[in-house]
């Protein structure tokens, strides 16, 4: 069994409560699964998240990736003294999505004292890769 990366207690309810009154609610991002070394969330492909050509907007994909990666990052630190903020995000949009739900899975690439790097895969309902993102987080003292 793999050792958990979470330093602060994390479950789906905690992650979803953290998103109240934020962009999560506007984009209907919902956390659905917490593993020992990953966090998953879904987002619908609908009129809120599509661009004018009827495809999932790349910015919405980035918002989903940053939401899942940032949430994960903040639960990998002692929140009584530290917090994490986004420093850089990169996204490769490899397949279009026109409807349904997309699922983002964030996994750590590097968990350091001053920075973290996360890989976030966004897939369609069939498990096909839609977007691959890399998120760099800065670890800061409160």
Question: What CA–CA distance (Å, rounded) separates 58 from 91?
Answer: 8
Give per-residue burial for 100-134: e unless 16+ CB within 10 Å, then b: ebbbbbbbbeebeeeebbbbbbbbbeeeeebbbbb
Question: What CA–CA distance (Å, rounded) separates 122 from 43?
Answer: 10
Would you say residue 107 has pLDDT above 80? Answer: yes
The correct answer on CATH 2.40.10.10 for the domain covering 12-141 is: no
80, containing H or E segment: none
Would you say residue 100 has pLDDT above 70? Answer: yes
User: What pLDDT, on the 0 to 100 scale, is given for residue 85?
Assistant: 98
120, containing H or E segment: strand 115-123
User: What pLDDT, on the 0 to 100 scale, is given for residue 2?
Assistant: 72
What the block records as the tokens of 57 is 């907007």
What the block records as the tokens of 136 is 């760099």
Per-residue pLDDT, averaged over 89-107, amounts to 98
Per-residue pLDDT, averaged over 74-87, amounts to 97
% of the chain beyond a pLDDT of 70? 99
Per-residue pLDDT, averaged over 11-39, amounts to 97
The region of weakest confidence among 1-5, 31-35, 73-77 is 1-5
User: What pLDDT, on the 0 to 100 scale, is given for residue 1?
Assistant: 59
Catalytic residue, candidates 25, 33, 66, 141: 66
List the domain boundaries for the chain: 12-141
SS3 103: strand
The yes-or-no answer on residue 25 being catalytic is: no
Per-residue pLDDT, averaged over 6-22, amounts to 96
SS3 71: helix
Average pLDDT over the chain, rounded to an integer: 97
């Amino acid at each position: 069994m793999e050792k958990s990366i979470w330093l602060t207690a994390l479950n789906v309810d905690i992650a979803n409560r953290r998103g109240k009154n934020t962009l999560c609610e506007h984009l209907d991002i919902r956390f659905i699964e917490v593993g020992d070394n990953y966090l998953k969330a879904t987002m619908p492909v609908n009129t809120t998240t599509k661009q004018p050509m009827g495809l999932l907007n790349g910015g919405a994909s980035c918002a989903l990736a940053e939401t899942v990666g940032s949430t994960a990052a903040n639960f990998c630190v002692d929140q009584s003294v530290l917090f994490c903020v986004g420093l850089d995000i990169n996204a490769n949009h490899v397949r279009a999505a026109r409807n349904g739900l997309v699922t983002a899975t964030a996994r750590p690439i590097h968990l350091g004292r001053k920075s973290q790097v996360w890989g976030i895969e966004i897939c369609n309902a069939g498990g096909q890769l839609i977007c691959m993102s890399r998120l760099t987080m800065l670890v800061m003292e409160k």
